[in-house]
């Protein structure tokens, strides 16, 4: 049962039109003769009524990105995270609390009249809008736990405080509302005790020379992801979180392929630099897609690389830790109910680009990939 809100509403609050949509439902949000067909209740409405902050469809499907429809659901822009919810009730959209780890549910950046101190927010693990990016990855969590001898108690601390992302101060240095580990990431990393875990997306030229020439004892675990998915995820992050771009996906793909991003440089320079050094004793090269297919295998590789040995029980516990959170938070049950079928989340985890990129973009990518890999032994 879906109920239209009768309160006075402000139409035409327009977020990104496709905000709040599950990857597998994006295909429905295509304009045909200026109209949109409600997904389940099938009424035809004007396309401009999508996300205009008023519930027009009986099934609520015209308001994926707002809280206008009762019983609606909002899908976070980043839908691949194991430790955070991927879908939340619409009532939590723009309520001033960051529910999605990428903050995409708080696109109005509403500031609540009461402001909890940063310490209190940390303690409660509840963060107020404007949100900072808090998504983590399996990799960050898994590596930290292996390095720290499976210290599950210590793993309750916000992951970016345990495992800072070096470049974030470049984006957040003047933003008071984000935690210290983001605003002042380099200084924050300096004061951590050994063994330190540091994460970065920066091109290798920006890394300390000692790491690259192996004179330091530091080890590098490099995680490569399919360039199309990397491009898509970067697009959403820059557009919806950092708000530093305002272009179409197609334009961003051209930019990605051009290799001129000042932080990451050319994708293939980035990946192939470490691929060619994958047999060095201080480098472990992993593909993101392998983590999805065979996590236990990757856990074993990482443990061996870090000279840790895990018993069978410890391996199982670690797998459960990573998996338990996913079971608890990814709302698979909700998805199954929504699609009246099981298994959607599983298929939605890889090759995300196929749902958002046009055939033309994919062709462009494919020929760029083929050309770039001509004289290499890299396998996609």
- CA nearest neighbour of 220 among 237, 202, 193: 202
Select 91 or 173, whichever has its Cβ closest to Ca ion.
91
Q: At its nearest, how many Å lie between Ca ion and the CB of residue 121?
A: 14
- The separation between the first and the last C-alpha atoms of the chain, rounded to the nearest angstrom, is 46
List beta partners, residue 20.
75
Two structure tokens written together for 90 = 């619409």
Residue 161: closest CA among 125, 129, 128: 125
Residue 351: name the closest of 233, 271, 257, 264 by CA: 233
**Shortest Å distance, C-beta 97 to Ca ion:** 5
Sort strands 283-287 and 220-224 into parallel, antiparallel or unpaired. parallel
The minimum distance between CB 241 and Ca ion, in angstroms, equals: 14
97 Cβ neighbours under 8 A, 6+ residues apart: 106, 126, 127, 128, 129
- Rg of the chain over Cα atoms, rounded to whole angstroms, equals 22
Q: What residue ranges bind Ca ion (CB under 5 A)?
A: 49, 52, 54, 56, 62, 92, 95, 97, 99, 105
Please identify which of the residues 81, 182, 201, 204 carries the catalytic annotation. 201
Instruction: Compute CA distances 270 → 56, 152, 371, whole Å.
Output: 47, 33, 16
- Between 102 and 141, whose beta carbon lies closer to Ca ion? 102
User: 111 vs 362, which CB is nearer to Ca ion?
Assistant: 111
Cis peptide before 195 (omega within 30 of 0): yes
Entry field: residues in the chain: 380
Number of H helices, E strands in the chain: 17, 6
Q: For residues 101 and 361, which CB has a smaller minimum distance to Ca ion in the complex?
A: 101
In the bound state with Ca ion, the residue whose beta carbon lies nearer, of 11 and 278, is 11
CB of 82 to Ca ion, least distance (A): 20
Is 270 tagged catalytic? Answer: no
CB of 124 to Ca ion, least distance (A): 14
> What are the residue numbers of the active site?
201
């Amino acid at each position: 049962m879906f109920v239209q809100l009768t309160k006075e509403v402000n139409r035409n609050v327009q977020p990104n039109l496709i905000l709040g949509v599950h990857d597998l439902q994006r295909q429905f949000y295509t304009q045909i003769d200026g109209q949109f067909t409600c997904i389940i209740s099938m009424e035809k409405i004007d396309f401009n009524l999508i996300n205009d902050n008023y519930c027009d469809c009986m099934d609520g499907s015209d308001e994926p990105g707002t809280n206008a429809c009762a019983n609606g659901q909002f899908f976070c822009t980043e839908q691949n995270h194991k430790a955070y919810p991927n879908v939340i009730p619409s009532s939590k959209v723009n309520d001033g609390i960051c529910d999605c780890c990428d903050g995409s549910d708080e696109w109005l950046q509403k500031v609540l009249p009461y402001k909890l101190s940063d310490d209190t927010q940390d303690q409660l693990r509840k963060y107020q809008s404007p949100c900072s990016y808090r998504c983590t990855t399996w990799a960050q969590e898994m590596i930290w736990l292996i390095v720290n001898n499976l210290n599950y108690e210590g793993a309750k601390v916000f992951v970016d405080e345990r495992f800072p992302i070096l470049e974030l101060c470049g984006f957040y240095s003047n933003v008071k509302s984000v935690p210290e580990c983001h605003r002042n990431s380099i200084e924050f990393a300096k004061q951590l005790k050994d063994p330190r875990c540091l994460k970065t997306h920066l091109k290798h030229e920006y890394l300390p020379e000692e790491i690259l020439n192996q004179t330091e004892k530091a080890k590098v675990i490099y995680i490569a992801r399919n360039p199309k998915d990397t491009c898509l995820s970067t697009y959403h992050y820059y557009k919806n979180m950092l708000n530093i771009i305002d272009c179409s996906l197609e334009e961003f793909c051209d930019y990605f392929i051009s290799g001129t991003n000042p932080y990451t440089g050319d994708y293939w320079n980035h990946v192939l630099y470490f691929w060619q050094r994958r047999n060095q004793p201080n480098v472990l090269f992993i593909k993101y897609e392998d983590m999805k297919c065979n996590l236990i295998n990757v856990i074993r590789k990482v443990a061996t690389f870090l000279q840790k040995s895990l018993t069978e029980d410890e391996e199982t516990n670690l797998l459960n830790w990573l998996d338990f959170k996913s079971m608890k938070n990814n709302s698979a049950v909700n998805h199954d109910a929504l699609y009246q079928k099981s298994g959607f989340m599983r298929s939605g985890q890889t090759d995300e680009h196929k749902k958002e990129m046009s055939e033309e973009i994919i062709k462009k990518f494919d020929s760029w990939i083929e050309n770039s890999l001509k004289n290499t032994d890299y396998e996609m």
